[in-house]
Amino acid sequence: MSLPRIAIDAMGGDEGVRVMIEGAALARRRHDRFKFLLVGDETRIKAALEDHPGMAEASEILHCEDVVGGDEKPSRALRRAKTTSMGLAVSAVKRGEAGAAVSAGNTGALMAMSKLALRTMPGLDRPALAALLPTLGDNDVIMLDLGANRECDARNLVQFAIMGAAYSRIVTGIERPRVRLLNIGTEETKGTEDIQAAADSLRAASGLAMEFEGYTEADKINRGECDVVVCDGFSGNIALKAIEGAARFVTDLLKRAFSSSIRSKVGFLVSRPATELLRHHLDPNNHNGAVFLGLNGVVVKSHGSANAKGVANAVEVAARLLEDDITNRIAKDLGELGSEELSAK
């Protein structure tokens, strides 16, 4: 099956061109139907392509030397959207020259450019940033919003639940994903008025293609007890960074413990299969690729520090959303499930 090509912001991320091209090449070795529009400095891109035979014939280069800085304010980056690799990658989706865009650059700038260029889908108030997180269960959990919207009302949360469920059906294959709202407790009386109002709307909407199961607390996100966790971007970003920090804490603590003595080093050798499994499970590159849901187009945000494997996973996320037509899926859900009635509550 042929796919629309994927625009790669080759200049974004901590290591830029080398890792972005290497990641795209890795994704293409897994799926040889992938084709790319590589946006960035042509000289550097061509040099990187020399290490990956076969990529050149599957790629077109759009030359651009201007790069969005990692600490650049979104408002300033937005003014340079027509001259930066990030802005041109997103614009390629708008013009139909690419089906999706992938960038490891500044998240705020990417969100601002994507919203301006692609606009929010009809029936939705705001897009949301969603990502897959590992769990102890059989499936990963989708969490949104992770920072696109600091403050959200009940209507936003209901719409995020619909988008998250649609995304979950694509990546997990579950027809009715289990959806919960992030809260400070599981009792119905817990949380803000907006969270309680969103829960009331979701409970009352029997036609939704999901199983709404009420609330979950932050320490349960990775237990595998639900498929989608919904929250405002402020809470979601804090929870995500706390989870990432806890993962790094555990791995660093194990390294310190296993290197503290000769006996510990021997113990490490004995337990190495288990520690390798833990390392693999906690490696963020295995779940790289956050998605801006709710736009008229597919945009995937790769972590700035992602290695080639992580970038390849982000590219594969973009391809899968194109294959399963996430935009039309969300539009269909909103139309069939009475989103206008829901959003009015």
Dump pLDDT digits (tens) for 188-233.
889 999 999 999 999 988 778 899 999 999 999 989 899 999 999 9
Residues 274 and 146 in one domain: yes
Residues 188 and 277 in one domain: yes
In the chain, which stretches have pLDDT less than 70?
A: 1-2, 257-258, 260-285, 336-345
User: Which of 293, 309, 331 is the last residue before a domain boundary?
Assistant: 293
Residues 144 and 281 in one domain: yes
* Structural domain includes residue 340: no
> Which pLDDT belongs to residue 150?
87
* Structural domain includes residue 326: no
Residues 85 and 144 in one domain: no
Residues 97 and 131 in one domain: no
pTM of the model: 0.86
The type of residue at 272 is R
- Asked whether 80 and 72 are in contact (CB, 8 A), the reply is no
Secondary structure of 280-301 as H, E, C letters:
HHHCHHHHCCEEEECECCEEEE
> Which pLDDT belongs to residue 183?
96
Rounded Cα gap, residues 194 and 206, in angstroms: 20
Residues 184 and 75 in one domain: no
> Which pLDDT belongs to residue 336?
61
- Asked whether 104 and 123 are in contact (CB, 8 A), the reply is no
- Which CATH number do you get for residue 274? 3.40.718.10
* Structural domain includes residue 9: yes
Residues 251 and 114 in one domain: no
* Structural domain includes residue 336: no
Residues present in the chain in total: 345
Q: What ranges make up the beta strands (E) of the chain?
A: 6-9, 36-40, 59-63, 100-103, 128-133, 141-144, 178-182, 211-216, 228-230, 290-293, 298-301
> Which pLDDT belongs to residue 255?
73
Cβ neighbours of residue 49 closer than 8 Å, sequence gap 6 or more: 21, 55, 56, 59
Percent helix, percent strand, percent coil in the chain, to nearest 5:
50, 15, 35
> Which pLDDT belongs to residue 244?
81
* Structural domain includes residue 90: yes
Residues 238 and 277 in one domain: yes
Note down the domain range covering 313.
1-121+294-319
Two structure tokens written together for 325: 């037509």
> Which pLDDT belongs to residue 340?
42
> Which pLDDT belongs to residue 214?
95
Q: How far is CA 17 from the centre of its chain?
A: 21
* Structural domain includes residue 34: yes
Residues 185 and 267 in one domain: yes
* Structural domain includes residue 332: no
Residues 265 and 303 in one domain: no
* Structural domain includes residue 331: no
Count: domains in the chain: 2
Residues 276 and 134 in one domain: yes
Count Cβ atoms below 10 Å from residue 93 Cβ, excluding itself: 24
> Which pLDDT belongs to residue 342?
47
Residues 97 and 175 in one domain: no
3-state secondary structure of 1: coil
